[in-house]
Structure 1
Amino acid sequence: MVFWILISFVALAMAALLGLILLRAHSMAEPPAAYDLRVYRQQLSDVDKDLLRGVINDSDAQRVRTEVSRRILAADAQLQKQSSGSPQPKGMSRLTVVLAAALLIGGTLALYSLLGAPGYGDMGLASRIEASDNYARTRPKQAEAESKVPPQPNPNLEPGYADLVAQLRQTAGERPDDAQGQALLAQHEANLGNFIAAYQAKQNYIRIMSGDLEPQDYGELAELMIMAAGGYVSPEAEELLDDTLRLDPRNGPARYYYGLLQGQLDRPDIAFRVWVDTLRQGPKGAPWINGIEAQIEDMAFRAGIEYSPISPPGAAGAQAPALAGPNAEDLEAAQEMTAEDRQEMIRGMVARLSDRLATEGGSAPEWAQLIGALGVLGEQDRAKAIYAEAKTRFADDTEALAQLESAASMAGLEP
């Protein structure tokens, strides 16, 4: 209410000032000839002063006096014909004042209704923080958020992959205490966009592993829950992020989602600080760094902070190409394949990737992809050998080793 009172007084003051100027001009109106006479008389006085100072000679002074005197006579004759000047019409002046006031006040209100937040209560900093805390305590739980997420379109799958995941589901269901199977199921349900099933499998994995867990396990579960809720960070996901950051304060994905949470809680100031620190720790090109760079400018605007771009340290590795897939003819033929034939085709794709990495080398994400694929196919010994070779190739690259370790863990290998 204070804001409305303030802008009303400002608008009325501006309208009153404008009206005063218009009405005063009306009351002070005078004939143009009267103004001309004052100017000409001042010119005559200035001529005498210039002559005394020696600026002009007598002949020039006389010539100027004659010209000015002629103009004075003409102005006086014109003044005699006009009893007054040409004043502004009173009715028109008052109408102009009313219209100007209406335009100023109405325009102000219309502009605020467009750009402002009509009906929004006055909120100082303390009130906004209190409102944020209240929302944090009462915001929707995970299940409620999931219920509001619209159905997602089915992803384009390589032939045989859906059958392979279906087999994995069956195996994991028959062996509910198999940590490796639950970890693989979580990974591949996520690949299919089944995030609810993915985080449920991840929960089973955490339950089975009990206390033998890494910080990233909690962070991965939080990420899957956030994806299942359409990007919303629920209280349950927040607890997992807290667990992750308590064990590993520099965990990049958890820091990204924690900043996202603070933005959703209307605390962009906290989100901005967390994201700035995360950008400074890098590494450049990491998925969470890309996510922060895409949103931090808007978060800074919401926080009222002038943002200067920050260049994260480190260089991103080459992006991994997709697993070698079938060509158009293979896709057409796959529609008529049996489940065994499609699985054999997948093995062929894995074999081609393995051969290429053995002969030509590749990036860390490609090696991680191969390890994961071998884990899905159940070739644990081969996956272990590939993991050992990859660690040798990327022994000096901390980021690459982290990617390989994550892939090995998901494949059920000992890091």
Structure 2
Amino acid sequence: MLLWVFLAVMTGAAVLVVLWPLSKPSADRRLDGDVQFYKAQLAEIERDCGRGLLGEAEAEAARIESGRRLLRATSSERESADATSEPALRRRRAASALALCLVPIVGLGVYGGYGSPELRARVAEAPAGPAESQARFEDALKRVESHLAAHPDDARGWDVLAPIYLRMGRYPDALRAYSQARETGGDNPARLLGEAEARVALGQGAVSSEAKLLFEKVIAADPKSVPARYYLALGREQAGDRDGARSAYRELLAGAEDDAPWVSLLRTRLARLEGAAPAPRVPTIPVADVPPEIQAMVASLDERLKTNGGSEAEWARLVRSLVVLGRREDASDRLARAKAALAADPEAPGRLDRLAGDLGLTGGGVRQ
């Protein structure tokens, strides 16, 4: 509303600028000054004559000349007044109406071409908040899942869905999706690597024999695959082959650029094997750089597990997510909660302790 008031005021000012010259009388104000001057001159002649400064003959000549000039000035003034008669007035009114119409029309045309008449629509299309972004994401995910349920042989569809499951921490679904992609579309490094990573995630970071076989297939197809080489080195470390793991880590570091994001992790693991460093700390991401939908998912998972509990994989996913977000104290707390919730499984505490070691966390106490 304020914008339109401003535009109306500006339009009125523009019209006023156009009409102002038309509002002035068209008669020449100099003519009126001449008439007054000659009248004053006649009066002055009469005074001079009365004081004896002018003779009668000289006074009469001066009266005739001033009278003649006064008549001429008066005649010119009448002609100018006639110019502002009805035809002139009609022309002035026409010019005023034309200005009143053209100025707003031209202004709106220029605004439509160079202004922002769609600003309200742009405001309506402003980025959605976390809750709305999460709702849109879930809706799109459901559409993809529905499509694949009706067309399970769509390998490219599984290629799209599987990494999403993996990033969401839905590791069983990710494993199923990668397996389906391999079954319908054949093997390639991306599918092999994704399935292997899903198996490692399901094993709480343990490189199983199945995952190791998949990583070896990735290396056969792509010898420079850093993730596959790293997990194979990690598998050696977990199997107790410390020398083999150190050698593999060093080879990775030798061919890496200093600014590669995984270099610090490799150096820390290598230092641990050599006894010169504590447990590695997972690199964190500033919360401002985390997409709103990811933050919403972490918060939703945290609330659900706190209220209803969940599987070991879900607890581990939550702990990892909190560490990545830099919330290490919360991660330690959730790790302790997970141990309490999974106490019925005698092997769960050991796996969670190994997860804590990989993340550089302590078990902490359970907060009631």
Normalised by the length of structure 2, the TM-score is: 0.38
Q: Which has the larger radius of gyration?
A: 2
Normalised by the length of structure 1, the TM-score is: 0.34
Higher relative contact order (Cα pairs below 8 Å, separated by 6+ residues): 1
